Every structure is written in C-alpha cells, then in structure tokens.
C-alpha cells in the first residue's frame, strides 16, 4: 500500500467504463462485454479525462487499463451515434473534405495520445482480443501483460480501410517496417505468445493470474519514484524519433529536472544509509 493513500480512493459508477483507485493505482476497466468492449465516442472521451486526471493527481501513481469479458477492445463502436455538429448549408454534401481528418485527430488519435502522454505509467491487461483501436491501445501502453491465447489484430484491411489512431507509427516503431506491413497488409491474428517474442507484450500469464500480475506490477510502480518514471517514459517515447544530439540534450535536461524531486533525494539517502527507499511520488 502506498503511504498516505487510502485503500480505495474513488469508485466510479460509470457502467461501461469502471474506474477505481486503490493502493495508488487507478484501475480503468472497459465494461461492454456484449459489444466486444468496442468504444463509443462518449466512453473514449471519459477515458481521456481519466488519463488526464491521473497525470495531475498525486494520489494516483500508476494506471491499469483492462476489460471485462472475452475481449479487451474490438475497436471503435461503428454503430454509435455520431450525429451533431454545425448545420450544413443547403446543397452541401453530407461528408466534406476535412471531416475525416478532424474526426480521427479528435477521436482515436487523441485517445492514443492520452495514453502516451499520461504522466503515470500505464499498464495494460490484455484479457482477450484487441482489434483496431484496441490493438493500438496495446501498442501505446507502457507495459502489457496478456493472457495466454489473447489476440492482437490489425483488422482494418479486412474492412478495406487503413489503420488509424497512430497505428502505422506505433506498429512500425515496435516491430520494424517489414513485420508492420505483414500485420497491416494481411490483418492476421497475432497471438500474445508471438507478440511477446516481438516485444509488444511483456508477459503472458494464465487467464486466472491476470489480475494478480497486474496488481503486482502496478503496485510496485505505485511505490516507485513517480516523477523519475514519468520523465523516463517521456525520454523513451521520444527516443526513436530523434537524432543522438537531441536525445542526449533532452536526457541531460531531464536529469536536471529529476534532481530537484523529493524522491531522488530520498533514493540517494536510502542508498547511503543502506535502507529501503520510501518514495512519495513528488
């Protein structure tokens, strides 16, 4: 248990996206099993709000994202109501140039960015199939624990469309261009066991052990030096997009930032005094 944190800080009554904070960990659980845990626009927006809130909440030091049912997330809910917006002038088409760009930038890409930019580590519990946007949530997470036999699917080609939500960017960074093209061109199932070999999944466990494995890792992270972990996440996420000079410069500036945190002072003192560090998260 994190010092100074209640056992349960908050429990949300949102039926389709459960939210609970315990032991310094915010648990976010998709709860639309009958719909394959496909994500509605409203659900997506609330998930973004929870991730943003976790960044700013000192009582939250790690986030777990998982789901109930057989599927983790089968993508965006294409049946959800997307009506609304400004009225069209007479004669204007229902779909205009720019509409799709705004929809993707403000929707799937915004959700993936919220995971990547969350200042707390995001541990994803892959309880079942992750397809489309669900697959890209897996790629965006910081750590992934999957149940044996879970599937990750770049399903877009099966619908005659291209990956969105940052998929081409994240997939290529994760597995390289040739494997990324294979997965995107064919849309074949990628089992958790193979995903672990590729480095997309960190650990594969039996289904009955998923919650315990998520609890172990997330609560371990929640007792760590939160700002140092957040800054390390930021550096690693940027590393593959940079030249060495820029990466080294940002690493040095990040070290300057972390040097002024309480946790770094505590970590050094604990080392000198030969005791366990008690990090507070700031």
Radius of gyration of the chain, Cα coordinates, nearest whole angstrom: 20
- What's the rounded mean pLDDT across residues 128-155? 98
Q: What are the domain boundaries of the chain?
A: 8-80+98-222, 226-273
3-state secondary structure of 251: helix
Percentage of residues in the chain having pLDDT higher than 90: 74
3-state secondary structure of 241: coil
Q: Which residue has the tokens 């466990």?
A: 205
Domain 8-80+98-222 falls under CATH 3.90.226.10? yes
User: Token pair for residue 170?
Assistant: 């994240």
How sure is the predictor about 4, in pLDDT bands with cuts at 50, 70 and 90?
very low
Asked whether residue 98 carries a pLDDT value surpassing 80, the answer given is no
Q: Is the dihedral of CA 60, 223, 201, 184 positive or negative?
A: positive
Q: Which of 120, 149, 157, 154 is nearest to 137 (CA)?
A: 154
Q: Which of 99, 128, 116 is nearest to 30 (CA)?
A: 128
CATH class for the domain made up of 226-273: mainly alpha
Side-chain-facing half-sphere of 40: CA atoms under 13 Å: 14
Confidence (pLDDT) at 6:
38
What is the reported pTM?
A: 0.88
Confidence (pLDDT) at 3:
36
Rounded to whole angstroms, how far apart are CA atoms 42 and 224? 33
Asked whether residue 32 carries a pLDDT value surpassing 90, the answer given is yes
- What's the rounded mean pLDDT across residues 29-35? 97
What is the overall mean pLDDT for the chain? Answer: 91
Percentage of residues in the chain having pLDDT higher than 70: 93
- What's the rounded mean pLDDT across residues 133-149? 98
* 168-187 pLDDT, tens digit each: 999 999 999 999 999 999 99
Confidence (pLDDT) at 251:
87
Confidence (pLDDT) at 280:
95
Asked whether residue 23 carries a pLDDT value surpassing 90, the answer given is yes
Q: Which of 130, 202, 118 is nearest to 167 (CA)?
A: 130
Confidence (pLDDT) at 2:
36
Confidence (pLDDT) at 1:
35
- What's the rounded mean pLDDT across residues 136-152? 98
How sure is the predictor about 85, in pLDDT bands with cuts at 50, 70 and 90?
low
* 239-252 pLDDT, tens digit each: 988 888 888 988 88
* 213-227 pLDDT, tens digit each: 999 999 999 999 999
Confidence (pLDDT) at 82:
58
């Amino acid at each position: 248990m994190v010092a100074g944190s209640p056992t349960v800080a908050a429990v949300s009554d949102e039926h389709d996206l459960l939210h609970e904070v315990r032991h310094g960990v915010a648990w976010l659980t998709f709860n639309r099993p009958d719909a394959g845990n496909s994500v509605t626009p409203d659900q997506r927006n609330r998930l973004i709000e929870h991730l943003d809130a976790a960044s700013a909440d000192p009582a939250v030091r790690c986030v777990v994202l998982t789901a109930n049912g057989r599927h983790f997330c089968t993508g965006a809910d294409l049946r959800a109501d997307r009506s609304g917006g400004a009225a069209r002038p007479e004669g204007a088409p229902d779909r205009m140039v720019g509409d799709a760009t705004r929809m993707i930038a403000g929707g799937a890409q915004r959700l993936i960015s919220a995971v990547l930019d969350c200042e707390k580590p995001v541990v994803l519990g892959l309880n079942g199939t992750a397809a489309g946007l669900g697959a890209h949530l897996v790629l965006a997470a910081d750590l992934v624990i999957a149940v044996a036999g879970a599937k990750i699917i770049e399903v877009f080609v099966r619908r005659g469309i291209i990956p969105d939500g940052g998929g081409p960017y994240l997939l290529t960074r994760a597995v390289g261009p040739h494997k990324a093209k294979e997965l995107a061109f064919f849309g074949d199932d990628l089992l958790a066991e193979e995903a672990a070999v590729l480095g997309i999944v960190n650990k594969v466990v039996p289904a009955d052990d998923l919650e315990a494995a998520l609890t172990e890792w997330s609560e371990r992270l929640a007792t760590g030096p939160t700002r140092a972990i957040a800054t390390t996440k930021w550096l690693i996420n940027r590393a593959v997009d940079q030249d060495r000079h820029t990466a080294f410069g940002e690493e040095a500036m990040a070290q300057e930032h972390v040097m002024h945190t309480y946790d770094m002072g505590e970590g050094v003192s604990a080392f000198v005094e030969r005791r366990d560090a008690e990090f507070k998260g700031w």
